[in-house]
Amino acid sequence: MSRLWDRGEPLDDRVLRYTAGEDAILDEALVAYDLRASAAHAGMLHRCGYLTARDHAQLVQAMADLAAAHAQGQWRIAPQEEDCHTAIENRLTQRLGELGGAIHLGRSRNDQVLAALRLWLKDRLEELAGMAHAVAAALDGLAAGQGDLAMPGYTHGQRAMPTTVALWAGGWAAELRDDATGLLAARRRADRNPLGSAAGFGVPVLALDRGVTTQELGFGSTHEPVTAVQSSRGKAEATALFEAALLAQDLGRLSAEVCLFATAEFGFVSLPVSCTTGSSIMPQKRNPDVFEIARGRTAEAVAALNEVLAVTAKLPSGYHRDLQLIKKPLFRGLQSVRDTAEVLAWTLPGLVFDADRMAAAIEPAMRATEQAYELVQQQGVPFREAYRRVKDGL
């Protein structure tokens, strides 16, 4: 079975397995995007006079058919094919003969994979931002239904001042919406068209128009100069994972607080039965496993970010096979955060706050700041003096 880089020389199976890694599996997510970018590339070749109208039409139709068949599960990337690029070209060649190979004119696997990856990444960031908004909406629902309930606020893990469920939920919701804004902003580095940069030095002799694919694929700009494209590898991925890690941390911290509030010692909130588990030895137990796993999975996003940063650190300019190793942590990290956001958006509406338990935890001393402010407002006492008076009276 032919691969795009195949020179007709033997390659040891152990070397192929080691260097290909999990790409045949991971690239299933990129097939639709690679076909989309390839169709745009074919259109550019046609406009520049390198494909006839008939050949262009045949290629575009064949790629549309391949995309539909893949979406329906009718074909998958074979391990021997190594990646989605070889898998697609093999099938185009099987269907169209030598014309199937004409699609690779003016590009390399380097700009080909990066185009598909950036299109995929833009979609995933938008999707993840939507999930962050979904969790925020679930918190809005708690505020609307139980927001008037008073609860103690904490600093340093100690009772501090009275607050409400609405303020507690609203604070987390605001931060999650800020995370969504950060995720959308992270698309900037992924919004540059790499097609036409080829292996990193452009395409000699051919008169190609990179602006055609930039416009057709909806990229914000064309990545220039061509030598910058491969040296940028890892930046868009790390930026995306950084913003995803911030979202994961907020989801994890929120989950940690739910776990704390659900303990018998606090008793501020009860969890729906459908999202708790039991104990193999203690019949009375109901454990907040969902929120504990959400708290723990923060580590996955941070680990993925660190892995991407470590792979790219100190690499010289241009393409290096090390860069292939970015794909796995990128996919894993973003999927982990998406899964957490999805499950929290579903479970949070089932939280029920205990008004009596929370009210009982608001001891009189927690109103000390309020009393100091009343002295300032009603008697004109300077705040520092009011602070001392209230403190001495406790």
What is the set of active-site residues? Answer: 156, 279
| Burial class of residue 370 (count of CB atoms within 10 Å of its CB; 0-12, 13-18, 19+) | exposed
Query: Which neighbouring-strand residues pair with 152?
Result: 162
Cα(2)–Cα(6) distance, integer angstroms: 6
Residue 259 host element (H or E): helix 235-261
- Pairing verdict, β 150-155 and 158-164: antiparallel
| Burial class of residue 12 (count of CB atoms within 10 Å of its CB; 0-12, 13-18, 19+) | exposed
Query: Which neighbouring-strand residues pair with 193?
Result: 222
| Burial class of residue 137 (count of CB atoms within 10 Å of its CB; 0-12, 13-18, 19+) | middle
The string of DSSP codes covering 362-381 is: --GGGGHHHHHHHHHHHH--
Q: Quick one: DSSP state of residue 280? A: S
Residue 76 host element (H or E): none
Instruction: Confirm if 332 and 247 have CB atoms less than 8 A apart.
Output: no
Query: Which neighbouring-strand residues pair with 270?
Result: 352
Q: How far is CA 194 from the centre of its chain?
A: 21
Question: Which string of b and e fits 50-84 if b means at least 16 CB within 10 Å?
Answer: bbeeebbebbbebbeebbeebeeeeeebeeebbbb
Cα(271)–Cα(348) distance, integer angstroms: 9
Cα(355)–Cα(23) distance, integer angstroms: 53
